[in-house]
Amino acid sequence: MRNLRVNADRIAADLDAMSKITDPGRPWTRRAFSPRFDEGREWLARQFTEAGLIVSNDAGGNLLGRRPGGDPKRGTIMLGSHSDTVPDGGRFDGVAGVIVALEVARMLDERGIRLRHHLDVVDFLAEEVSVFGVSCIGSRGMAGVLPQDWLALTHEGRSLDQAIRDCGGVPEWQIPATNIRAFLELHIEQGRVLEAHGTDLGIVTAIAGITRIEIVLTGQPDHAGTTPMGTRADALVAAAALVTDIDAEAVRRAHGPDHFTATVGEFSIEPGAANVVPGRVRMLIDARSDNRDQMREFLGWSRQRLTKLPTKISADMRVLSDNRPTPMHADIINALEAASGKVGATHRRMVSGAGHDAAFMARLAPTAMLFVPSKDGRSHCPEEFSEIADIALGAEVMAEAVIAIDQEGD
């Protein structure tokens, strides 16, 4: 049994309290810009205040709690994540990182540890895909890269501009923060690697880039009962073979040293009738890697594969979005590794296949992430679960890393 300075029972109580703030009959649902999200924000603000933090909202609508440092000129060490959820699946995703950040601040106070840097606890606005169809709104705002045309997006008569204002933000004032010395984010892994290897913690070396590719195959719709099999231009048959090959190519690339995934997550058939040969198929590929060369090669492979379609099938391929991978900062990675060793936690370096607010914070400051295990790798579903003992161990490592970063330069 490890002797931790953080309070595991308090972490558990906080997570339990937040889990109860959910849409009725939908555990656990607290979507950004909803009344339930606002209720969760109000609860967090009260906890920040009770912990002695100075509570504010920044221009991007992020909730902040500050523990002032002894030498403000040194800047701010920031910890946190997000409290919004996807529908039906957010008991730990995001909010664990906010609660851990709060617990670190509490522990430092209880132990009488005065930092030279300010310590900011942050709950980023709308990390998950919001009702406006966009994500990482708060961290993009803090980094000064929130697309201004997004502000005109509307949902049920409310613009994103107004929604940010309703969360305490001032969209036109969003400029990059300049005083952040380091940013650290604890998050559940959302995968099976740590659990499968019996490892306590994952230290993230990079957040994978995400490329989304649309492919449309066009054949010819014909009567399903009268068109001979050998004369058809069946777009679905060609698409089925293509999907299988995409999966096989992704498996091949994943066997190397790099992180790589490719998923056909959207698929539609036209005309979509049982008695009509499919004449058109649209598919959307979500491909992710921490190696930019791997992604370029996969795009090249995809184009080449489309030259091998049946002669009666034509194809159109276009890249809808192409986000580069984000490396984490070596100094913060090293600080987390040293802290893990100091508290006796086993750890491994790993890539995050999911996107996080840390990807945008890395534009502002040295950044790294710490993963705690997820039971059976489940996430974004009601079964999502992480052990409190694992989260508390992660909190202890975060606290140790914060203290070490604060003392650098002595």
Domains of the chain are 8-207+326-407 (3.40.630.10), 209-322 (3.30.70.360)
Amino acid at 60: G
- The 10s digit of each residue's pLDDT in 167-179 is 999 998 888 888 9
Scored b (16 or more CB within 10 A) or e, 360-379 reads bbbbbbbbbbbbbbbbebbb
Which residues are part of a known binding site? 82, 93, 128, 187, 212, 275, 288, 380
The pLDDT of residue 105 is 98
pLDDT per 10-residue tile (average), the chain, 410 residues:
90 98 95 98 98 97 98 96 94 98 98 98 98 96 95 98 98 89 98 98 98 98 98 98 98 96 98 98 98 98 98 97 97 98 98 97 98 97 97 98 91
Helix (H) or strand (E) holding 185: strand 180-188
What is the predicted pLDDT for the residue at 410? Answer: 63
> The tokens of 212 are what?
């989304």
Q: List, in order, residues 6 or more apart from 371 with CB less than 8 Å away.
A: 186, 187, 188, 189, 194, 201, 202, 203, 204, 350, 352
How buried is residue 311: exposed, middle or buried, by Cβ count under 10 Å (0-12/13-18/19+)? exposed
Q: List, as residue ranges, the binding site for allantoate.
A: 212, 275, 288
pLDDT value at residue 1: 54
* Count of all residues that appear for the chain in the document: 410
Provide the 8-state DSSP code for 237: H
pLDDT at site 175: 86
pLDDT digits (tens, 9 = 90+) for 260-313: 999 999 999 999 999 999 999 999 999 999 999 999 999 999 999 999 999 999
Are the CB atoms for 189 and 390 separated by under 8 Å? no
Query: Residue 294: which of 393, 175, 209 has the closest Cα?
Result: 209
pTM: 0.94
Binding residues for Zn(2+): 82, 93, 128, 187, 380
Distance, CA of 113 to CA of 190 (rounded, Å)? 33
Q: From 107, 101, 33, 110, select the one nearest 65 (Cα to Cα).
A: 101
3-class secondary structure for 246-302?
Answer: HHHHHHHHHCCCCCEEEEEEEEEEECCCCCECCCEEEEEEEEEECCHHHHHHHHHHH
pLDDT at position 90 is 81
**What would the two tokens of residue 19 be?**
């889990």
- pLDDT recorded at residue 379: 97
The DSSP call for residue 223 is: B
